[in-house]
Amino acid sequence: MGLKKGTAIVLVSGGMDSCLCAAIASKKFNLAFLHVSYGQRTQKRELKAFNDIAEFYGVKSKLVVDISHLKQIGGSSLTDKRIEIKKAKLKSSGIPNTYVPFRNANILAIAVSWAEVISAEKIFIGAMEEDSSGYPDCKAEFFKSFNEMISKGTKPGSKINVVTPLISFNKKQVVENSIKLNAPIHLSWSCYTETQIACGECDSCALRLRGFQLAGVNDPLRYKKNPNYV
């Protein structure tokens, strides 16, 4: 593997994409893991996945941040129990109500603050433009613009950069690359609603299962229902 050059902060939600991101970052960088909870229904389960993946990679530099003020702001079914999480309609257009407005900007701003303190150079985020349900803050041009903003708002010479290795991937490619890089996807968690056995029916489960089905691989997680999404 050669000498690792510097430190990369990886945003590890606990899902499959961030798990692959960690695998990719681990090839070239010393890892620091950032987990952000925001009062989402499954936050304890996601934190467990975060810690399990950190243990897998031997990551000691961990930061867990609560931004439940996003819950206070509301506007999303992930954080507002009054809004029902819709069952997956993968082909429907428009922005789903699970969207937390400007969430990635909030999370990345925290990551940049931390990066300045620990002198990290890179911030890895597993955003995917295709599978992002149209969230504006998951698009390549958003991250490009965010990087320009970082260069203006941090100390000269900081050179902190957001890196999006999965930006053009689909979930099938996430599965394929995770297997190729031995990413511990069996430790990851994707379900929006359940914390023991995944539901198999929420948007997040549907996207994940379709990825495995298209890759012709069995998901190591257990599901209550396992519909055919292909």
Q: Which residues bind its own copies (CB under 8 A)?
A: 63, 65-67, 69-70, 72-77, 80, 82-83, 86, 95, 100-106, 109-110, 112-114, 116-119, 136-137, 139, 141-142, 144-146, 148-156
- Alpha carbon distance 47, 14 (integer Å): 7
Write down the least CB distance from residue 110 to its own copies, Å. Answer: 6
Minimum distance, C-beta of residue 10 to its own copies, in the bound complex (Å) = 16
Identify which of residues 35 and 45 has a Cβ nearer to its own copies in the complex: 35
CB of 182: closest distance to its own copies in angstroms? 30
Chain CA centroid to CA 171, Å: 13
Radius of gyration of the chain (CA): 17
Rounded Cα–Cα distance for residues 34 and 171 (Å): 22
Tell me the closest approach of the beta carbon of residue 114 to its own copies, in angstroms: 5
Question: Minimum Å distance from CB 184 to its own copies?
Answer: 26
Question: Which residues does 45 contact at the CB level (< 8 Å), separation at least 6?
Answer: 14, 189, 191, 195
Q: What is the DSSP letter of 11?
A: E
Residue number with CB closer to its own copies (52 or 80):
80
3-class state of residue 49 by DSSP? helix
Nearer to its own copies, 68 or 182 (CB): 68
**Residue with Cβ nearer its own copies (57 or 142):** 142
User: Minimum CB separation from its own copies for residue 37, in Å?
Assistant: 11
| Ramachandran sector of residue 160 (left: φ over 0; alpha: ψ -120 to 50; beta: rest) | beta
Q: What angle do CA 173, 16, 197 make, to 5 degrees?
A: 125
Query: Are the C-beta atoms of residues 207 and 90 closer than 8 Å to each other?
Result: yes
Report the residue number, 104 or 178, with the smaller CB distance to its own copies.
Answer: 104
**Nearer to its own copies (CB atom), residue 52 or residue 116:** 116
- On the 0-12 / 13-18 / 19+ scale of CB atoms within 10 A, 11 is buried
Q: What's the closest the beta carbon of residue 139 comes to its own copies, in angstroms? A: 7
SS3 (DSSP) at 62 = strand
Cβ 129 vs Cβ 89: under 8 Å: no
Nearer to its own copies, 69 or 222 (CB): 69
